[in-house]
Chains A and B, each alone.
Chain A
Amino acid sequence: TALSCFISFSFQQRIEIHKLRQGDNLILGFSIGGGIDQDPTQNPFSEDKTDKGIYVTRVTEGGPAEVAGLQIGDKIMQVNGWDMTMVTHDQARKRLTKRNEEVVRLLVTRQSLQKAVQQSMMS
């Protein structure tokens, strides 16, 4: 479903990540946090502490995600067109790890990196 983006002062960016095969697994090389089933107050990257969106929490150096330009603190708005602003953590994970999808197209919003860093340090 189309959900409106609640972040007004951030820009959106499309990032296309080609998964990397590691053994039997296809990996993207980043980790996510958040989801509507998670406690949003513990998200160090969100400006709005009620934001239950999916955020990029870590990015593997040299991994597919970093190569594609994904950054820590990016909020994932869509995955291959699927809304990620109102999903559970696990739903987001599943959506990102579909075995039959070797390419993942993300729509992300990125607040200023500085802000994200500050917040992460504060937490």
Chain B
Amino acid sequence: MDDYDIRSAASILASVKEQEARFERLTRALEEERRNVSLQLERASQPTDRMSICNIGNGQPLATAWQQLVLQEQSPSNQTSIAMMQEPQEMVEETVTVEEDPGTPTSHVSVVTSEDGTTRRTETKVTKMVKTVTTRTVRQVPLGPDVLPSMDGSSPMGSYTDSIDRRFLKNGERYVGPQAPSTLGRSYNSYNDSYPESHEGQYRPYLGHDGYGDLSDSYGTLPRGGGSTYRPRYAYVPGSAYRPDDGNFTLPRRRDNYAAVAQPQVPVGSSVDLNRSQPERFQPEPYGLEDDNRSLGVDDEGYELDPDNSTVNRRTSAGVPERGRPHKGSRGYDDAVESEMVEERIPYVPGGYAAPLAQPERGSMASIDRLGKRSPSIDSIRKDPRWRDPDLPEVIAMLSHPIDPVKSNAAAYLQHLCYENDKIKKDVRHLKGIPILVGLLDHPKAEVHRKACGALRNISYGKDNENKVAIRNCDGIPALIRLLRKTSDMEVRELITGTLWNLSSYEPLKMVIINHGLQTLTNEVIIPHSGWESEPDKDSKPRDAEWTTVFKNTSGCLRNVSSDGAEARRRLRECDGLVDALLHALQSAVGKKDTDNKSVENCVCIMRNLSYHVHKEVPGADKYQELEAGQPTGTGGSQKKKKDDAGCFGGKKAKGKKNGDLDRNFDTLDLPKRSEAAKGFELLYQPDVVRLYLSILTESQNFNTLEAAAGALQNLSAGNWTWSTYIRATVRKERGLPVLLELLQSNSDKVVRAVSIALRNLSMDRRNKDLIGSYAMGELVRNLPSRQQRSAKNLEEDTVVAVLNTIHEIITDSSENARSLIQTQGIQKLVAISKSSQSPRETKAASHILQMIWSYKELRNALQKDGWNKSHFQSVSAAPKGSKAPAGRPGYDDSTLPLVDKSQDNEKSGSRDMIPMDELGPDGYSTIDHRDKERKYKSSDRTGDASEKEPLKNDTNRKNINRSNRASVNLVDARDIKPQPVDSWV
């Protein structure tokens, strides 16, 4: 490998120099061309990007021919990409969405994240960033030459000419391609046509040897390997497969540029890095193939998406060997995402070289593309051992270079170097590079602040919070927000919001982001992309949400900061238009049946978090507190409860806006009479949201989204204020109980847990309790572990405890429900748990239930018939009865509030852990903490206590109901269901 690398590096360098020489000659001619191109680009409609490109081209002494080619090709790609990015139009949205959803969403962030969670999420973003870079790369290429000459002054351009042209072409093509799938294909084709033979001949050899390995490295490894080395790899990566890799692409470009610059300066001496960097030779064959793939569209999407999450990961194993190995060690968190990408690439590598040619053979189109592209560049670089890349201090020094293209190239190169390389990130920090990058955010030239932002995004990604703190300490957050307000360049906006998303994973920075950016993020991104209009045009149709990357990043950022406690929640709730826009976006998602993507997940998680403790934290909440809430514990409470149930909306309830009389009607929606439409945070707890959440629970396949939606209902149904009463009834009236019941069968542990706790809170409504006891008991029991094995699903302890607590709540004050539990064979499982569970929490919770059951004297005969006796219901582990009663908590509050408290604890813990939003959100509010088991235990204990405290009561006056063991779809209250045809005069 080393030898190859060195050779390739040398060859690459040589070619670069040649190219540079050509560039100089052609500069003048190019300028004219550039003008033309720039005009074209402007027409295309994307001022910033194009402009920047043009500028670069102009500034640089690029070869005319090359530029032309690049520009043409680029322009299309740029245009497309720009269009997509900037405009929230259909095409853009679709593309983006697809990619984003798959890649970003679920798996990476949430799963991985849980403990490192934040990091992973960020990672995903990073990948995307890379893509962005790619676009730039094209530009950079031209710049590179310019810069280099100036820098070194010694550039040996003459010799390289031929190679250079090729490279550029290749580079340009490749780069372009990554950005815009469709465009890419074109570019490749064009290149192939023009350069095919010569390039291939040269490049192929390289590819065959090292190419693939290098390529793989570039994705994950490059950063690791060495600053200089990486460049080549990037080049490969970008063109080939993943958009996420774009970053990689960019890097390659940078490398190329640098290589040109640096290489001339430095003799081969720095061989090691060079190996890695051999970037340039890849192009020959692979491109053609790649193009095809891209054109297909599927590949493109796949790349974008997969790179982060799925695709990359899968492939990982194969590729790992070369690059993956080294990288893995260094990657740590990022690895999940990054490693995946790397691996994917790697697998191909082995066969990779050939692969480009023999596309069919390769398993996936995407993979092929990736391989091919990557490999070529690597090879070329390796071959030329004469040059070396600039070292890190040199690169950082270049950030302050008087020539803007140098700055931007240095920043781009830094981004490349930092990709998946925590060491480099740390070094950049120690070398004081971060303040310089932050300073460049205010640079007037788009190319400069864009690349600086790209570098910051990568630096901000990862578990090393010191980097995040360093960005904060030099006022990077306000600088990012400032730039967000200033720029309309979608690529830059993606980078900004991606960086903020990364930063938002670190607890101490959450309030900083809120203080500096909440309203700006809302106004600049959330509202416009949500489709919500504060004053909708009468004649225009309501707009749909646009699932752009910017929206995804921003919603991810807000999701993270929304878990920062009561003050953060207050700020978000009171942020003008935020809740309105989020709700609108979610309604749009439901309307379009597009509820699986990451943006929706983020939005639901924010809503869930903001719904937490609304009954305590919302301004004026005290006006809505139910009288009963305050009631002391004790039997009285239970009776009252019953009464309430009789009329869920009993007159007592209606305070303030409520209309007591109406409450009794089944038309729940009419209950809260308002003089004007609800807005802002009021929307969080209006009964209308129930339908939204139920729609999501019905439609979405995203477990994180399901959990969050269930958590939102859980939060809203907690507490004793008027609105929670409405919510609980509305869930029933909207036929939400069957929906929740069905989700009890989910294979996702956290969904089962969230739904279970939601059912517990909902059962504070007497009618709900009856229905849940009748129809859901069987499903709840099924989720409990049996003797030999844990439940079929093998649910986590937290989930089992949640289910147990829910059962306890359901049978409290309801001997009928207790009877239902007996009929579902629940006793057997409960006894088994209480006697033999390894988990003290489970044991305790089960014991409470058993004690409760035994307290229903009317059931004892039935129990004894089944062979049970008192000893089975007096668990050793269970807390003494005395302790139960004592707790001075109010009846229902206890059950509900404990849950909340738990969640709070969890929330806190989560945030500390810096877990990404996914985990935090869910845990915090509704569910038990996944992350922190200790905390969980605590919380669970509380729960248990709470249940214990509740007085056992015999509830005899329940009507006889057919209690089927199985939950049935009928889990709807007949009374509520009444389809009274309503006729309203208007």
Enumerate chain A interface residues (CB-CB to B < 8 A).
1-3, 27-28, 30-33, 35-39, 41-43, 57-58, 78, 80-83, 86, 88-94, 96-97, 101, 105
Contact = CB atoms under 8 A, between A and B. Distances in A.
Interface in B566-596: 584, 587-588, 590-592
Nearest to A60: B985
A27 B986 CA distance: 6
A27 B544 CA distance: 30
Contacts of B734: 37
Given A2-B591, A88-B691, A81 B982 contact: no
Interface string B952-986: 00000000000000000000000001111111111
A31 B984 contact: yes
B658 to A, nearest CB: 15
Grouping DSSP codes into helix (H, G, I), strand (E, B) and loop, the A interface class, with mixed when no group exceeds half, is: mixed
B707 to A, nearest CB: 24
A57 B921 CA distance: 45
A32 B544 CA distance: 26
Contact of A38 (B542, B981, B986): B981
A90 B985 CA distance: 11
A27 B677 CA distance: 19
A80 B986 contact: no
Nearest to B545: A1
Contact of B688 (A33, A91, A92): A91
Grouping DSSP codes into helix (H, G, I), strand (E, B) and loop, the B interface class, with mixed when no group exceeds half, is: loop
B361 interface: no
B688 A93 contact: no
16 contacts: A1-B584, A1-B590, A1-B592, A39-B980, A39-B981, A42-B981, A43-B981, A57-B983, A78-B541, A82-B542, A83-B591, A88-B688, A89-B669, A90-B984, A96-B986, A101-B538
B537 interface: yes
B539 interface: yes
Interface string B177-218: 000000000000000000000000000000000000000000
B540 interface: yes
Nearest to B674: A94
Contacts of A105: 538-539
A28 B984 CA distance: 11
Contacts of B531: 1
B301 to A, nearest CB: 23
Interface in B639-696: 667, 669-670, 677, 688, 691
Contacts of A41: 979
A31 B981 CA distance: 12
B733 interface: yes
Nearest to B978: A39
Q: Which 5 A-B pairs have the closest CB atoms?
A: A39-B979, A1-B591, A96-B986, A90-B669, A1-B588
Contact of B538 (A28, A81, A93, A94): A81
B591 A3 contact: yes
Contacts of B670: 90
Contact of B540 (A81, A88, A90): A81
B691 A31 contact: no
Contact of B677 (A3, A88, A94): A94
Question: Which one of A1, A31, A39, A88 has the greatest number of beta carbons of chain B within 10 Å?
Answer: A1
Given A83-B591, A86-B591, A37 B984 contact: no
Given A2-B542, A41-B979, A88-B691, A32 B984 contact: yes
B269 interface: no
B536 interface: yes
B985 A81 contact: no
A107 to B, nearest CB: 9
B669 A27 contact: no
Contacts of B691: 36-37, 88
